[in-house]
Amino acid sequence: MKKFINDVANVETEMLDGMAATYPQYVKRMDGLDVIVRADKKADKVALVSGGGSGHEPTHAGYVGKGMLDAACAGAVYTSPTPDQIFEAIKEVDAGKGVLLVIKNYTGDVMNFEMAADMARDEGIDVEQVISADDVAVEDSLYTIGRRGVAGTIFIHKIAGAKAEEGADLKEVQRVAQKVIDNVRSMGVAIKPSTVPAAGTPGFELAEDEMEMGVGIHGEPGVATEKIKPADGIVDELLEHIFKDKDYAGKEVALMVNGSGATPEMELLILSNHAHKVLADKGIKIYKTLLGNFMTSIDQAGASLSLLELDDELKALLDAPADTPAMTVV
């Protein structure tokens, strides 16, 4: 294993310190906690808190800032954050209008965030939650009951964050977050597995001529291990799974072409090019395309496609200003 690390035991804490040191205009780290919060806490707004295991950067801390998240809780690599850290994050960012938890659908995440929510309610904080489950690949997986929450979660951060920044109340922010969840679908593929630093070896095996179709963001098995094919064929297969689950024909959408951490932008653009052609052929209008590393799997070579059906409300919130380390909309 070759990585730019000092000690595998300190990877998460040094990463979070690096985040705070690099982006002081956006974020700060809570003392003694693996929690990143906005550098300038905004009063009189609903606060958004999300989080999950480390290794998916820039998710989640990269989206802390104006128009998106107010706090992000980091667990160890591919491991849920603890309830006490989430509870402290909730208390820190609550500005009197309540807190919305954005939870990816993994058993540990859901359990720990819900425990923290109960602790916060016991202290009189108004807390609601939404659960992201956009992955169409599998219904149940190694860490989930039901579908996994993957890169489509970033649309929730952006759109619900914009609604909160407008001054909407907690129920309205929750409503628009759920609207995104209801209308977003994702599917991923890997051509090389990731290596968790503490393990030192790849999380699964793929031959040189194989790919994992429907892979999870922690390297969970997908639909099938298949022979690799040209990029256009991979896009066709990803979109076929998405279209089986939701009919986007004639709709207006946002497209996310997400890299898994070790996929060059050159290759993401090739995937995006064919995705645009396929969507056009199906009468699907692309309002906006987001391309890059939004939710990664450490050093996994792979990608995912996400489609979000839009209406006027969601378009306006997607276009609303945001200023965070990983996403800026002006």
Of these residues, 60, 218, 241, 274, which one is catalytic?
218
Of these residues, 56, 60, 157, 241, which one is catalytic?
56
Distance CA 39, CA 135 (A): 32
Residue type, 288: K
In the block, residue with structure tokens 């090019």: 273
In the block, residue with structure tokens 């792979």: 302
Strand partners for 261: 300
Residue 4: CB partners within 8 Å, gap ≥ 6?
Answer: none
What end-to-end distance do the CA atoms of the chain give, in Å? 40
φ, ψ of residue 99 in degrees (nearest 5): -130, 130
Minimal CA–CA distance to 3: which of 205, 262, 293? 262
Active site residue 56: yes
φ, ψ of residue 159 in degrees (nearest 5): -80, -45
Tell me the CB-side half-sphere exposure of residue 301, using CA atoms within 13 A. 12
Residue type, 259: G
Cα 144 to chain center, whole Å? 16
Active site residue 60: no
Residues taking part in catalysis: 56, 218
